[in-house]
Amino acid sequence: MEVKILEEKKNEIRFIIEDIDSALVGELRRIMMSEIPTLAIEWVDFVKNDSVLWDEIIASRLGLIPLTYESKSYKFKKDCKCDGKGCTHCQVTLSLVKKGPCVVYSGDLVPSDKKVKPVYDKIPIVELTEGQELKFEAIAQLGVGKNHAKWQASIVGYKALPKINIGRGGNSKEYAERCPKKVFSFKDGKLKIDKLLDCNLCMTCVELSNGAITVETDEKNFLFKLESVCGLKPREIVLKSMEILNDKLDEFLKDLSKLK
């Protein structure tokens, strides 16, 4: 298996995985979305809430605010030495005190760890009018997306790479011009494939050429697009998902070896 990164932005990454089974591709996508540990608010202790929103609604909004953090700094509560009681190694506190009139934003949260902060500062939480006050203390901890959507790490899509073969009778300028995705170019009397990854298997070229051009899916090579929706960078999510997949495969082989 080989990974080739095509494009990398702040919150997005496009890459190709070569020589991989389609079943593993589906599992890898599930891991990227729902099994990567991320940090999110789990508990909120309200001291005062004069806003028009109930405590439960504000707590729900707080939980969906993505938080940045250093993955090596925190552990799951069940794996922490404090036995789940809560300490600086498994949780972080975020407090807030605001008086109206104002709009309370995610950037108003004050964390106990300076490395933990909302990914976006302008996520609105609630609006306070004159005389209204909001005061609470929230606790964030690690979790995974399969337990709750607030811990979802990313949004991931993938497709099998196309395989295009240009046979006899397949050299025509019309095929290049009528391709919706402009996959082909026509130079020196020959049809050339310029943008293979843009092909969406619409089969327009196959129909126009009466089969002189063939288009198939390559079930061993896949194109991924991942968007991070948590405080982790896209590259971190990809690397961590590979580690989790390897651990799962190792565990499976161990269980398999026990069979007689």
CA proximity to 126, closest of 152, 96, 156, 150: 96
Mean per-residue pLDDT, 211-235: 92
Q: Is the pLDDT of residue 242 over 80?
A: yes
Question: How close are the terminal C-alpha atoms of the chain, in Å?
Answer: 30
Mean per-residue pLDDT, 207-232: 91
Peptide bond connecting 101 to the previous residue in cis, omega within 30 degrees of 0: yes
Domain architecture of the chain: domains with CATH: 2-34+155-225 (3.30.1360.10), 39-147 (2.170.120.12)
Strand duo 67-68 + 117-118: pairing = antiparallel
pLDDT at residue number 110: 96
Contact 163, 217 (CB under 8 A): yes
Contact 242, 50 (CB under 8 A): no
pTM: 0.85
Per-residue pLDDT tens digits for 89-125? 899 999 999 998 999 999 999 999 989 999 999 999 9
Q: Is the pLDDT of residue 3 over 70?
A: yes
Q: Is the pLDDT of residue 21 over 90?
A: no
Per-residue pLDDT tens digits for 142-194? 999 999 999 999 999 999 999 999 988 878 888 899 999 999 999 888 899 99
pLDDT at residue number 260: 62
Percentage above 90 pLDDT, the chain: 68
* C-alpha–C-alpha distance, residues 254 and 244, integer Å: 15
SS3 243: helix
- 201 against 84, higher pLDDT: 201
